Chains A and B, each alone.
Chain A
């Protein structure tokens, strides 16, 4: 009985290992094949290797998409962290009449299906003249990251002992000063979580980019991958090279700091 159970467990473990891992192996192995090699033997994992697909994808400008994604992701995350921790400081520390209602307003945002806002955001973006610019994505990305970020940071800020700020008040520090030099530095662990969570989501975001950007030079990586797919059609190794390159940054981050990335993603499941 015990043997059977352990056998069953190992079986499940190995089966899921294959299911989760095989598509990755397939993607990487295919990206290293030549086209004729691929069509002769499309499923083999080990064959002769060539880096020409990567060279082709780089020549066709995949780094432009990388650059765009990197710029919008970093700027969005920095602004989200700044805005959300300012709000969280007020919600956690200052008593005012709208404190609870504001907190609930932000929590409620977690229930909104993103696509409900798609049409008005598209119209609004065109009206304010940001349509088809990378910056058009900034507003939606910040707005949709705020609920999770505010909840995580507020809960964390409530745990910080008040004594430290009281000491700062004794030294004559105003509220802004208390926030900037006492509370914000202590928020660092939560800030790390929030940054990782939002970075992953914004790096992979698709639908707003699809609606708000049409010019190739301004596309983010997910849109760019789709362009490659449309153009390459039968050049499967080429597409796989693009996919591999596109996945590489998060993969590297994951291998460098597995625990942090996992914690960052689990943090998205907060409940008010």
Chain B
């Protein structure tokens, strides 16, 4: 009798195990091959000198990293990435919040505003990049024409062609693309704030500004943290738009770690060095995300 019971239990466990393998296995396999394995492989490749085409590769230890530390273009791209992080967090999120608040208020023609505000995020990055290259075009671009029309012809320039303006021109385009995303994100956060709280504050004589800083903002912190994490990681790995618009030029004024990595790997065929850049990106993104999230956890605990 007991033998039967334990046999049935064993059979049950076996069938549960089989079921789990069958249901989780395929996804886990794809995930492991294309997501987990490459992280280790990147680090492994970064210890070699290798073209990626020939089969021969030479072990050089941490030589690629030493080269990275001395490399001026890498410094430049790291600086640009950090600039992009700050520019993104400090413009996209506040602007997104302002727009989200705007969409909550009663303005005539709200449907139109809501619909149009979101449009930039729907265009593919490549399309945005090409479109804005024509907006910035020095001879027939809209921006220079508009400057001439309002009497500021002296400000006209080749926005993407000059090292001093290229990065800012690109950042403006990136903000155009991503602000709608943070608007949507923060609007969802705002919708989660109970109406009664704001109502009670109004009855108690709170000014709108006070109820914003004392109620809305504190309750919005989790959403803001998420927005910061997404924006920071996104900026550290940014590639598409800059690659299409400037390829990192002119004179590496808009070079990012990702564009540098791509060019080293697929133009210079210096896979080992590119892998070292790639590993650096991974470590940086990891550190930053972990820092923000643990700071947030610390804050949440302090609040209790």
Residues of A within 8 A of B (CB): 9-10, 12-13, 16-17, 19-21, 23-24, 26-27, 30, 38-39, 42-43, 83-84, 86-87, 89-90, 94, 96, 102, 105-106, 109, 111-124, 139-140, 142-144, 146, 150, 175-176, 179, 200, 203-204, 206-207, 211, 221-223, 225-226, 229, 236, 239-240, 243, 246-247, 250-251, 254-255, 258, 261-262, 265-266, 269, 271
Interface: B263 (CB within 8 A): no
Known: A225-B130, A226-B126. A112 touches B39 (CB 8 A): yes
B33 to A: closest C-beta gap in Å = 7
Q: A207–B142 Cα gap in the complex (Å)?
A: 29
Residue of B nearest to A80 (CB): B27
Mostly, the B contact residues are helix
Interface: B286 (CB within 8 A): yes
Tell whether, in the assembled complex, residue A266 and residue B34 are in contact, meaning their CB atoms are under 8 Å apart: no
A248 to B: closest C-beta gap in Å = 10
Tell whether, in the assembled complex, residue A269 and residue B185 are in contact, meaning their CB atoms are under 8 Å apart: yes
Residue of A nearest to B261 (CB): A115
B269 to A: closest C-beta gap in Å = 11
Known: A87-B28, A116-B279, A254-B122. 20 other contacts (CB 8 A): A9-B107, A20-B116, A20-B118, A26-B142, A87-B23, A90-B23, A102-B24, A112-B35, A117-B42, A118-B278, A119-B41, A119-B278, A139-B33, A211-B262, A222-B126, A225-B124, A236-B134, A250-B122, A265-B181, A266-B185
Known: A39-B140, A86-B24. A114 touches B118 (CB 8 A): no
Tell whether, in the assembled complex, residue A146 and residue B27 are in contact, meaning their CB atoms are under 8 Å apart: yes
- Chain B residues with CB under 8 A of A105: 31, 36
Tell me the count of chain B residues lying within 8 A, CB to CB, of chain A: 85
Known: A39-B140, A139-B33, A250-B122. A119 touches B275 (CB 8 A): yes
Interface: B295 (CB within 8 A): no
Interface positions of B from 206 to 253, Cβ below 8 Å from A: 222, 226-227, 229-230, 233, 236-237, 239-240, 243-244
Residues of B within 8 A of A (CB): 16, 19-20, 23-24, 26-28, 30-31, 33-39, 41-42, 45, 52, 98-99, 102, 105, 107, 112-127, 130-132, 134-135, 140-142, 145-146, 176, 180-181, 184-185, 188, 222, 226-227, 229-230, 233, 236-237, 239-240, 243-244, 258, 261-262, 265-266, 271, 274-275, 278-279, 281-282, 285-286, 289
Q: A158–B30 Cα gap in the complex (Å)?
A: 24
- Chain B residues with CB under 8 A of A247: 122-124, 127
Pairs across A and B, CB under 8 Å, 25 listed: A9-B102, A17-B116, A19-B176, A20-B119, A20-B120, A20-B180, A21-B116, A23-B120, A23-B135, A83-B26, A83-B27, A86-B24, A102-B24, A112-B285, A114-B237, A123-B41, A123-B52, A142-B30, A143-B35, A176-B19, A226-B130, A239-B130, A255-B115, A269-B227, A269-B230
Tell whether, in the assembled complex, residue A23 and residue B117 are in contact, meaning their CB atoms are under 8 Å apart: no
A106 to B: closest C-beta gap in Å = 7
Tell whether, in the assembled complex, residue B244 and residue A226 are in contact, meaning their CB atoms are under 8 Å apart: yes
Tell whether, in the assembled complex, residue B42 and residue A221 are in contact, meaning their CB atoms are under 8 Å apart: no
- Chain B residues with CB under 8 A of A146: 27, 30-31, 35
Tell whether, in the assembled complex, residue A112 and residue B282 are in contact, meaning their CB atoms are under 8 Å apart: yes
Q: A181–B59 Cα gap in the complex (Å)?
A: 55
- Chain A residues with CB under 8 A of B45: 119-120
- Chain A residues with CB under 8 A of B134: 30, 236, 239-240
Tell whether, in the assembled complex, residue A115 and residue B33 are in contact, meaning their CB atoms are under 8 Å apart: no
Q: A116–B132 Cα gap in the complex (Å)?
A: 28
Q: A28–B284 Cα gap in the complex (Å)?
A: 40
Tell whether, in the assembled complex, residue A113 and residue B233 are in contact, meaning their CB atoms are under 8 Å apart: yes
- Chain B residues with CB under 8 A of A118: 261-262, 265, 278
Query: Of A16, A83, A117, A207, which is within 8 A of B239 by CB?
Result: A207
Tell whether, in the assembled complex, residue B16 and residue A96 are in contact, meaning their CB atoms are under 8 Å apart: yes
A3 to B: closest C-beta gap in Å = 14
Q: A142–B35 Cα gap in the complex (Å)?
A: 10
Tell whether, in the assembled complex, residue A243 and residue B127 are in contact, meaning their CB atoms are under 8 Å apart: yes
Q: A265–B118 Cα gap in the complex (Å)?
A: 11
- Chain B residues with CB under 8 A of A251: 119, 122
Q: A99–B20 Cα gap in the complex (Å)?
A: 10
Tell whether, in the assembled complex, residue A143 and residue B30 are in contact, meaning their CB atoms are under 8 Å apart: yes
Q: A115–B277 Cα gap in the complex (Å)?
A: 10
A66 to B: closest C-beta gap in Å = 12
Residue of B nearest to A116 (CB): B282
- Chain B residues with CB under 8 A of A83: 26-27, 30
Tell whether, in the assembled complex, residue A10 and residue B107 are in contact, meaning their CB atoms are under 8 Å apart: yes
Tell whether, in the assembled complex, residue A175 and residue B19 are in contact, meaning their CB atoms are under 8 Å apart: yes
Tell whether, in the assembled complex, residue A84 and residue B278 are in contact, meaning their CB atoms are under 8 Å apart: no
Tell whether, in the assembled complex, residue A86 and residue B23 are in contact, meaning their CB atoms are under 8 Å apart: yes
- Chain B residues with CB under 8 A of A42: 140-142, 145
- Chain A residues with CB under 8 A of B244: 206, 226
Q: A60–B299 Cα gap in the complex (Å)?
A: 57
B243 to A: closest C-beta gap in Å = 8
B58 to A: closest C-beta gap in Å = 17
